[in-house]
Amino acid sequence: DWTPVVATFGGIEMALVPPGCFTMGHTEGRRDERPEHEICFDHAFWIDRTEVTNGQYGSEGHFTGENHPRENLTWMEARDFCVAHGGRLPTEAEWEYAARGPDNPLYPWGDELDLSMLVFDRNQPGQTADVGSKPDGSSWVGAVDMAGNVFEWVNSIYARYPYDASDGREDASDTTSLRVYRGGNLSYLDYAADSTMRFRMSPDERDWFVGFRCARDFE
């Protein structure tokens, strides 16, 4: 029943994510998505409505176009951009909550994979697209492209579930541990489009299909 609330910070639109609880993970997913467990947020936070674009970042990644998502950057570069703009990378719990919400659908739009709701190899072969090109696939808070287009770095160090924000996995100063990226797209559609899927990569690696979005605390 949440009505999306969007505000602009430094020229970048952010969606408000209200306090609440959701079930993180997926019992029928891969081993690192288990066990399912409840995560609650006592405070609201903001998350970028779209992936950070080439235009917002100030340079292009592998794919050109001002409104295409900025990719091919390290975790540190994504982290530093968010901090420089008054925010931070979202935790993987925040990211999944913003994608799924308290009703816990498997995809941002519901429990069934709808191929018209995301950018992937069948409708954008080997390419990204302008952010927000699939508005009907937006999440409950109004965030778009949380499935498809590019994967997204989050702040979290890759670690086993249950998720615990206080166990060191949210240490933003650690530049060696594997970091999580989320949001299925392109050739990984067959098993990566759902909102519970987790991937990991070294923070100093780059990939053509890994971008990011920022979060910030609600004040």
Which pLDDT belongs to residue 190?
54
Q: Mention every residue, 6+ apart, whose C-beta is less than 8 A from residue 95.
A: 47, 146, 152, 154, 182, 183
Per-residue pLDDT of the chain (219 residues; tens, 9 = 90+): 899 999 999 999 999 999 999 999 999 999 999 999 999 999 999 999 999 999 999 999 999 999 999 999 999 999 999 999 999 999 999 999 999 999 999 999 999 989 899 998 778 888 899 999 999 999 999 999 999 999 999 999 999 999 999 999 999 999 999 999 998 765 554 556 889 999 999 999 999 999 999 999 998
- pTM attached to this predicted model: 0.97
Which pLDDT belongs to residue 21?
98
Which pLDDT belongs to residue 171?
98
User: Maximum Cα–Cα distance for the chain, whole Å?
Assistant: 41
**C-alpha dist (Å) from residue 13 to 128, 175, 211, 216:** 20, 28, 17, 12
**C-alpha dist (Å) from residue 210 to 23, 69, 94, 148, 181:** 25, 9, 18, 11, 8
